[in-house]
A and B are shown apart, each in its own frame.
Chain A
Amino acid sequence: MNLDQIIKGCIKQNRKSQEELYNLYYKSLFVISLKYCQNDSEAEDNLHDAFIEIFTNIKNFKSTGSFEGWMKRILINKAISRYKKSFFLTSIKDDNIPEIMIADTEMNYPIDYLLSLIQELPHQYRLIFNLYELDEYSHKEIAEMLSISESTSKSNLHRAKSILKEKITSKRSFHNYQASHGK
Chain B
Amino acid sequence: MENKKEIGKIFKDKLELLDKSPSNNLWASIESDLNKKRKRRLLFWLIPSLLLIGLASSVFVLELKQNQNNPLGFEKDKTIINQSKTTHDQKQSLATKNNTAQDSVNKTSSENKPSIKKTIQNSSETKTTIKKSKTEKLIKQSSKLVTSTDEYEEYEVVKKYKVIIRKNKTVTTSKKPNSISEKPESSPKKSNGIAKKASIISKKPRSKTTLKNPKNSISKNNISKNNISKSKNKKSTIQKTPHDSIVYKQNQSIKTEDSEKSNTKTSKENLQDSDNPKTIKQDSIIPKQEKKTTPKREYIEREYPEQKNEDDPEFSVSVFYGPAIFGSLSGKSTINESLDNVSKSHPITSHYGVYFKTMYGKYGFKAGFSKINLKISNHLNNQSPINYENMVLTNNDIYKVMGNDADIRLVQKISYYEIPLEFNYAIKKDETPYGMEAFSGFSVLFSDANQLYLSSNNLKTEGIGSTKNLNKMNLSLNLGMGFYYKLNEKFQFDFNPIFKYYLSTFKDYSAPKPYSLSIQSGVTYKF
Contacts and interface: CB of A to CB of B under 8 A. Distances in A.
Mutual binders A and B: yes
Given A68-B270, A69-B271, A35 B6 contact: no
B3 A104 contact: yes
B278 interface: yes
A2 B19 CA distance: 24
B307 interface: yes
A47 interface: yes
Nearest to A132: B8
A51 B279 CA distance: 23
Q: How large is the interface on B (under 10, 10 to 19, 20 to 34, 35 or more residues)?
A: 35 or more
A16 B34 contact: no
A42 to B, nearest CB: 11
B273 interface: yes
Interface string B250-266: 10000000000000001
Contacts, number: 205
B527 interface: no
Interface stretch (B50-58, B239-247, B369-377, B408-416): B239-247
Most buried by A among B11, B19, B305: B11
B283 interface: yes
Contact of A30 (B20, B279, B304): B20
Contact of B22 (A26, A73, A100): A26
A68 B287 CA distance: 12
B72 to A, nearest CB: 54
B242 A100 contact: no
B97 to A, nearest CB: 64
A69 B281 contact: yes
A52 B307 contact: yes
Interface stretch (B24-32, B331-339, B398-406): B24-32
Nearest to B23: A44
B266 A136 contact: yes
B272 interface: yes
B165 interface: no
B8 A161 contact: yes
B284 A66 contact: yes
Nearest to B41: A13
Contacts of B311: 56-57
Contacts of A133: 8-9, 11-12
A169 B219 CA distance: 46
Interface in A3-40: 3-7, 13-16, 18-20, 22-32, 34-35, 40
Given A44-B26, A66-B270, A105-B2, A31 B19 contact: yes
Per DSSP, are chain A's interface residues mostly helix, strand or loop, or mixed?
helix
A53 B220 contact: no
Given A45-B304, A114-B11, A161-B8, A16 B172 contact: yes
Interface in B258-296: 266-268, 270-287, 294
Contacts of B283: 3, 24-25, 28, 67-68
A170 interface: no
A64 interface: yes
B268 A136 contact: yes
Contact of B11 (A56, A63, A66, A134): A134
Given A34-B18, A114-B11, A161-B7, A27 B281 contact: no
Contacts of A100: 6-7
A114 B15 contact: yes
B246 A20 contact: yes
B169 interface: yes
A72 interface: yes
B285 A28 contact: yes
A102 interface: yes
B170 A16 contact: yes
A27 B304 contact: no
Given A25-B286, A27-B22, A65-B281, 4 more contacts: A3-B280, A23-B220, A24-B250, A135-B267
20 contacts: A1-B245, A2-B246, A3-B282, A19-B170, A19-B215, A22-B27, A23-B216, A30-B21, A47-B22, A48-B29, A52-B307, A67-B280, A73-B271, A101-B6, A101-B7, A102-B6, A114-B15, A129-B8, A134-B8, A164-B7
Interface of A: 1-7, 13-16, 18-20, 22-32, 34-35, 40, 43-45, 47-49, 51-53, 55-57, 62-69, 72-73, 99-105, 107, 111, 114-115, 118, 129, 132-137, 161, 164-165, 168
